[in-house]
Amino acid sequence: MEVENRGTIKEKANFDDEAAAKRFKLAMKGLGSDEAAIISLLVSHSSLQRQAIEEKYKKMYGRDLVDDLKDELGGHFEDAVVAMMTSPYSLLVDALHSALSGAGTDADVLTEILCCRSTADIESLSWWYEKRHGRTLDEALEDDLNGDFRDLMRGLASGSREEEGPTDSAKARKDAQDLYDAGIGANAGSEESEFIAILNTRSFAQLNPTFQEYENISQEAIEESIKKEFSGDLMDGLLSIVKRVRDPPGFFAERLHNSIAGSGTDDKTLIRLLVSRSEVDLADIKVCSQVDLAYIIVYLKLTWPTAKYG
């Protein structure tokens, strides 16, 4: 069955890569650049169409379109434009690589990207990660993480989640009982591995009745039990999976809201979420968060700290 595209960006009808390449060139002609035209071109073409425009631009002008855009733009507006010219999987694996590099690990980024993907998405992410960064995603997670959170992330990255399909009520009851026995029903401490195994491998659809059965057994929502039994990154990761199961758009809307709340904006998260979900379910996320991609790109342009051409 075909899954409806709930993105805000669709493929442009009667697509003409040559005409679009010419419009990009014209938008960067002379002193300064026509940012409105650049925004219009980006949000009116799908990611695959933007890649085709980039290839056509190079054939027509012998220049790299992204490099030319970088020369013309600056600040977070440039970051947003470059992100939109990057394939979605490349954007995500580069974020994963950055989250695992440097002095500390950005567990929030790992959780956002790995906890909410289908098996097919995980397989593509793993392939792209090795292609772009020279080692497997599993190797990177094993080397840079530790403890139960590492087990959770490596399990997610293994692509072992069951495919979506009809739910099994008997299986849901058994899994719910196993979760209860491993958590608040345990005689001596929680068994993290049981939570990780079930939440990492059952389909998102199957987890929904499992959580309901768990509440029937324990008389509390599974979120409350997780908060009681776990802490730190592992708790956040498990809660993210539960949130993804219960309300997928709400999960990303909450992340989006957090990126622009408070005294400063987390521009990297903001850009990554909007671009990576723009052809998936951003229409639903927008309902929850009241923002959309074109608005944020304009926002990033307006907050561009310094213009290169005055």
CATH of domain 169-246: 1.10.220.10
Choose the weakest-confidence range: 73-77, 120-124, 129-133.
73-77
For 150-185, the pLDDT digits (tens) are 999 999 999 999 988 999 999 999 999 999 999 887
What pLDDT was estimated at residue 309? 31
What pLDDT was estimated at residue 75? 85
For the entire predicted model, the pTM comes to: 0.86
First and final CA of the chain: distance in angstroms? 52
To the nearest whole percent, how much of the chain has pLDDT over 90?
65
What pLDDT was estimated at residue 180? 94
Higher pLDDT, 284 or 218: 218
How far apart, in whole angstroms, are the C-alpha atoms of residue 151 and residue 110?
13
What pLDDT was estimated at residue 32? 78
Alpha-carbon separation of residue 201 from 14, 150, 162, 216, 219 (angstroms): 42, 16, 6, 22, 24
Q: What is the mean pLDDT of the chain?
A: 88
In the predicted model, is pLDDT for residue 22 greater than 80?
A: yes
For 32-49, the pLDDT digits (tens) are 789 889 999 999 999 999
For 175-229, the pLDDT digits (tens) are 999 999 998 877 665 688 999 999 999 999 999 999 999 999 999 999 999 999 9
What pLDDT was estimated at residue 188? 61
Q: Where are the domains of the chain?
A: 169-246
What pLDDT was estimated at residue 288? 64
Per the listing, tokens 């099994």 go with 168
To the nearest whole percent, how much of the chain has pLDDT over 70?
88
Alpha-carbon separation of residue 23 from 11, 18, 36, 93 (angstroms): 17, 9, 12, 30
Tokens describing residue 37: 């035209």
Taking each helix axis from N to C end, the angle separating 35-43 and 293-302, rounded to the nearest 10 degrees, works out to 160
Confidence bin at 297 (pLDDT 50/70/90):
low
How far apart, in whole angstroms, are the C-alpha atoms of residue 234 and residue 226?
9
| DSSP state letters, 118-158 | -HHHHHHHHHHHHHHHSS-HHHHHHHH--HHHHHHHHHHHT
H-assigned helices in the chain: 17-27, 35-43, 47-61, 65-72, 75-84, 88-100, 107-114, 119-133, 137-144, 147-157, 169-182, 192-201, 204-218, 222-229, 232-246, 248-260, 267-277, 282-289, 293-302
Q: Could you tell me which of 146, 253, 245, 264 has the C-alpha nearest to residue 203?
A: 245
How far apart, in whole angstroms, are the C-alpha atoms of residue 240 and residue 254?
11
